[in-house]
Amino acid sequence: MVLRLLRYGLRNNYVPRPDFRFATELKPSYDVVIIGAGGHGLAAAYYLAKDWGITNVCVIDKGYLAGGNTARNTAVIRSNYITPESVRFYKESVGLFQTLSEDLDYNMLYTQRGQLTLAHSDATMRTFRMRAEVGKHMGTNIEMVDRKQIAQIVPSLHMPEDHRYPILGGLWHPDGGTGRHDSVAWGYAARAMDRGVEVHQRTEVTGILRDGDRCVGVETTKGKIRAGNVIQAVAGMSSVVAKLAGFRLPIRSYPLQAMVTQPLKPFLDPLVSSSGLHAYVSQTSRGELVIGGGSDPYELYSTRSTLDLKESLIGHTLELFPFLAGVRLLRQWAGITDMTPDYSPIMGASPLRNYWLDAGWGTWGFKATPVAGKRMAETVAHESVPDILEPFALERFKTFNLVNEMGATAASH
Amino acid sequence: MKLLTCPLNGPRNISEFACGGELVLQPDPRQLTDEQWADHVFLSNNTAGVVREWWCHVASTYWFIAERNTVTDEVIRTYPASEIFKDRVDFSNESA
């Protein structure tokens, strides 16, 4: 890939390479229909085709390719969770990300620069110790660091001792990193299309076709489509689509706001986050600072930004980097996050047979794109849920076996 | 700045309020199976549209009802809970 990039760069004329071959007509039936052409849906389509040879697949979306939360997240990739189930799952995702640009022949701008999470209280320090030990046990790179080490990892960090929220220590996760979120979805889409997968944009699902307790297809604004299996991967709209399928989910939708500053010279290599301050910051490869924080305080399906939340987010960021006070904001946005009670996803079987869920991705969906796609594809190919996804079954809310990751979602709540 | 009109205190900054979630009548836990109770605890309508919710003005701890559109982010109406709950809840049988 590197050589080809170099060769392309040295050419006199740059021939545009068409990435996407969109199908024009919907067929009356497919082996698998995937609702939602975001990262997760497209990844599932790709792995269905690549790993399992299932290419009679159609991905439909009411909007455009990767225009929902795939375009709105803050592109953090990490596996420093607290339960072994989660660490195992997200670790597999980090592993897939490491070779994804090569595998898809599509540059994801993936950089593993490490993620530093800051503790401002003894309680946070205790959970960090636990996360570090669980992470080491599960074979990830993670350790506790003290103030001196933090100052070495992020020299620009403001850390006086008589601060309102003094930094007591941190959780250093060298495996953490970032990538270009759009490219991840585009790469999966392009390679899935190469293998015969169809993607239909502006095709909204209006109903789910059932035969008894089985799902047999979907009804869309462009007509009925029969399907052997259906995957729902619609993030913030999970409850709305599930209602069409006839069931409710333990999900509540909240906006999550983020923003980007004007580009600055590179000064911040790792990703820095603070759960106590509800803020996280990273610098993109073009120099912009991506700033994200907590969700809005009440349920909403609107993606408008609000001044008060932006203000508090900026205030908290300035506690960490006061010298950014004069920097201008370039863009701001919000995405609709599908929050679950335990801050873990819902994957696998639904109350409707042959209707599979990839939902409840709240504020932690981007980092799981490859593994969620790969394992959902496996689930559908076998029509049974693999071991690694079992802890995240919808059933857990009936048996009270929750996978609590509230503390490890970093800045969320 | 977003405002919410408290039936007791008038229009106030929305940061003074806490949302208590959709108004759902609690079923009698003694009449339910564990599974039904889990459904009540965890499942949510998560309606995209008009919802009826509990809100609290935190400074005065006053709970009231708001009708709100979750798509357009508009508050349609706020009113005291006494509009819906006419009778006092009887807890006298629940000591056991």
CB contact under 8 A, A400 and B45: no
CB-nearest partner of A302 from B15, B44, B73:
B73
Sheet holding A279-283, edge to edge: A143-145, A169-173, A115-119, A271-274, A279-283, A289-295, A252-261, A329-339
- Prediction pTM value: 0.94
Q: Which residues, other chains included, contact A131 with Cβ-Cβ below 8 Å and sequence gap of 6+?
A: A80, A81, A82, A142, A171, A408
Task: Please enumerate in sequence order all residues whose Cβ is within 8 A of that of A238, keeping only pairs 6 or more positions apart, or say none.
Answer: A232, A249, A251, A253, A338, A357, A359, A360
Q: How many CB pairs under 8 A join A and B?
A: 60
How do residues A330-344 score in pLDDT, each as one tens digit? 999 999 999 999 999
- Residues B8-17: what's their mean pLDDT? 96
Strands A271-274 and A115-119, by their bridges, are parallel
**Out of B1, B44, B72, closest to residue A251 by CB:** B44
With CA atoms as reference, report the closest residue to A136 among A84, A98, A77, A76. A84
Q: Kindly state the tokens that stand for A322.
A: 């006061």
User: Which residues have CB under 8 Å from B86's CB, separation 6+?
Assistant: none
- Compute the nearest-CA separation of A411 from chain B (Å): 19
**pLDDT value of residue A413:** 40
Of B1, B42, B70, Cβ closest to residue A300: B70
The answer to whether residues A346 and A395 touch, using CB atoms and an 8 Å cutoff, is no
**A346 SS3 class:** strand
**Cβ partners under 8 Å of residue A382, min gap 6:** none
Task: Inform me whether the C-beta atom of residue B48 falls under 8 Å from chain A C-beta atoms.
Answer: yes
Contact status, residue A156 vs residue A267, Cβ threshold 8 Å = yes
B55-68: pLDDT as tens digits:
999 999 999 999 99
Task: Give A387's DSSP letter.
Answer: G
Chain A contact set for B15 (CB, 8 A): 308
In this prediction, residue A12 carries a pLDDT of 84
Q: B34-83 pLDDT, tens per residue?
A: 999 999 999 999 999 999 999 999 999 999 999 999 999 999 999 999 99
Q: Which residues, other chains included, contact A79 with Cβ-Cβ below 8 Å and sequence gap of 6+? A: A87, A90, A91, A93, A94, A135, A140, A173, A175, A176, A367
Residue A316 has pLDDT above 80, yes or no: yes
Chain A residues at the B interface, defined by Cβ less than 8 Å, are 237, 239-240, 248-253, 297-302, 304, 306-308, 341, 397-400
Interface of B with A in 6-45 (CB under 8 A): 14-15, 18-19, 34-35, 38-39, 42-45
* pLDDT computed for residue B95 by the predictor: 56
| Tokens coding B6 | 């408290």
DSSP 3-state of B63: strand
ipTM: 0.92
**Residue A308 pLDDT:** 87
* A155-182: average pLDDT: 94
- Kindly tell me if the per-residue pLDDT of A155 is higher than 70: yes
pLDDT value of residue A410:
55
